Chains A and B, each alone.
Chain A
Amino acid sequence: MNALKQLFKGRNSADTAKQRLRFVLIHDRAEIPPGVLDLIKDDIIAVISRRLPIDRSSVSVNIDVAGEENRLLVDIPLLAESRRRPDGAKRQL
């Protein structure tokens, strides 16, 4: 959540309030405590990074509300090395 704080820096406090409210209301309505997403994120990082090099610090897990439906949006940026084959050979284009 530090990234979130960084984002808020320099902004006015009403804007900060609005962002924080958006976030907390999504979680209130979905009845999912925000901290659970951080735990899920840690789990996902552990599982994926066993198979692929990923940019751990940029992984994001968010709840997205679209109409009646809540969904979990997970974004996992891959590191450059993942374009190589598991055997270490460069991919042929």
Chain B
Amino acid sequence: MHPIVVTITSGKGGVGKTTCAANTGCALALLQKKVVVIDGDIGLRNLDIVMGLENRIVYDSVDVIEGRCRLRQALIRDKRAPELYLLPTAQTRDKTAISPQQMVQLCDELRKEFDFIIIDSPAGIEQGFHTCLAPANRVLIVTNPEVSSVRDSDRVIGLVESQEKGPAHLIINRLVKSRVKRQEMLSMEDIVEVLSTEVIGVVPEDENILMSTNRGHPVALNGQTPAAMAFHDIARRLSGEDVPLQVQQSTSFIKRLFGRG
């Protein structure tokens, strides 16, 4: 299998790109893939703290680009999975610190060593999006089942296509099955129909995400939580497996079922 660069982006901010990048990276690594997750949000680094690797940073991607260290020195190994690495970004620089061309070169270097390169991109209309899009083989657009997020996704799907990086696929994040049933929330089918874009995974609203982020321990690392299971399905699909799409119940709903919440 050729190395795959997966860029995870969105139209609207705050829809779960970083959460999806961290967990998809962990899930792929647990499938015995060699994985590096790149924080593409220069100046607003977050992937490090979501993954719980913040205290290990010495160098970052901008240091690599500007020749202050070798690529290998900037990679942080996550010992909780067989072959999982983080390439953190600079916290005190702006989006122009890495050009699209330089990002392509960086990924070409990483392709020699890794099966999957996952890029946590800024939202699609922000500066820095084009830098993260440039090296992509696959583009995943994170969408919440909510009108403004779906609308903004449409713009980004268009941008991705205009850069000949399409077709993009959707990760529908924070879906609550019970609310879809009560017709209070857009369903996966609704979103697919409106955007005419394929879905690679549906991640339920899961209250474990907050606690796992508090601890810097992504749910996909060892969890059987609803979101963790969805991320494992996404990882298997990215690896080429044919996994039927299924929508997990949200945690709070499961808890209600068993009378614990």
- A residues with a Cβ closer than 8 A to B are 1, 4, 8, 13-14, 16-17, 20-21, 23-24, 27-28, 31, 33-36, 38-39
A35 to B143, CA, bound (A): 34
| Binding-face segment, B2-10, B49-57, B116-124, B146-154 | B49-57
A41 to B59, CA, bound (A): 17
Residue-wise, chain B 76-95 has the 8 Å CB interface mask toward A (1 for contact) of: 10000000000000011000
| A23 touching B214, Cβ below 8 Å | no
| A35 touching B56, Cβ below 8 Å | yes
Instruction: Tell me the interface secondary structure of chain A in the complex.
Output: helix
A88 to B54, CA, bound (A): 44
How many residues in B have their beta carbons less than 8 Å from beta carbons of A?
A: 18
B100 at the A interface (CB under 8 A): no
Residues of B within 8 A of A1 (CB): 55-56
Residues of B within 8 A of A14 (CB): 214
> 7 tightest CB-CB pairs across the interface, nearest first?
A17-B214, A35-B58, A13-B214, A34-B55, A13-B211, A33-B57, A35-B57
Told that A20-B52, A33-B59, A36-B58 touch, could you supply 13 new A-B pairs with CB distance under 8 A?
Answer: A1-B55, A14-B214, A17-B213, A17-B214, A17-B215, A20-B54, A24-B54, A31-B91, A33-B58, A33-B60, A34-B55, A38-B55, A38-B56
